[in-house]
Amino acid sequence: MKSTRWVRYRLEGAEAFGTLHGERIAEHEGHMFGHATPTGRDVELAQVQLLCPVQPTKVVALWNNFGELRAKLQLAHPEEPLYLLKAPNAWSAHGDPIPLPRGGGKVAYEGELGIVIGKRCSSATEAEAMASVFGYTCANDVTVADVLFRDASFAQWTRAKGLDGFCPMGPVVATGLDPATLVVKTLLDGQVRQHYPISDMTFSVAQLVSRISVDMTLLPGDVILCGTSVGVGSMKPGSLVEVEIEGIGRLANRYA
């Protein structure tokens, strides 16, 4: 299947979307997830500000979904997907700074594959689930690590992962990819810190979409972050974090 790379961008104060071809964007009109048609205009990538590639109603983030990390942490095999929601103020674009938490704390990067939903999906079977998947993007599930278990009576997943700018995504949404063949690579200041295959996921893309859609309706633009594997680490102010997946590109954000 031919892959297409979709972007949202701002040019001269106006928002638009289109397909990326090398260093140029072919502008489209309509809707990215259906009835998108080329306008015949194009623009250089260097002339635009890339936006978050989708506008989700929610971002679902997985925990304990990779075998290698589960073995390292000596976690039990989950019987069902374990997930949380990231807040709307958290998502941001390629190139946007990751703000320092106003309350302080040790902040960690987590390079991940994001599943982008393109069609309303509710109580889908595994066989039906893939029809609702539009494509894939890179994501960084940023976390205030020392907040998570600060209170022994209550794990603070929402607080630790929902701060402003704590969910960069992009730079594109790529269609036509086989997720089982993808590899996530995360670089911290140019050094590779994560390099793991999506094939090590406990729950496949179809299983994740199906099982989550039983709990809550997934809408066009929603994103499921597949979880992360070994190599998660903390960032220092000024650090550049890059999440790279072949076929999608490289998401780059500085912890500012």
83-140 pLDDT per residue, tens? 999 999 999 999 999 999 999 999 999 999 999 999 999 999 999 999 999 999 999 9
pLDDT digits (tens, 9 = 90+) for 200-243: 999 999 999 999 999 999 999 999 999 999 999 999 999 999 99
**Global model pTM greater than 0.75:** yes
Contact 194, 230 (CB under 8 A): yes
List the domains of the chain with CATH numbers: 1-51 (2.30.30.370), 52-254 (3.90.850.10)
CA angle 141, 146, 152 (to 5 degrees): 115
* Pairwise CA distance, residues 186 & 84, whole Å: 22
Provide DSSP, 60-84: EEEES-BHHHHHHHTPPPPSS-EEE
Token pair belonging to 237: 């102010």
Helical residues (DSSP H) of the chain, grouped into ranges: 67-73, 126-129, 157-161, 205-215
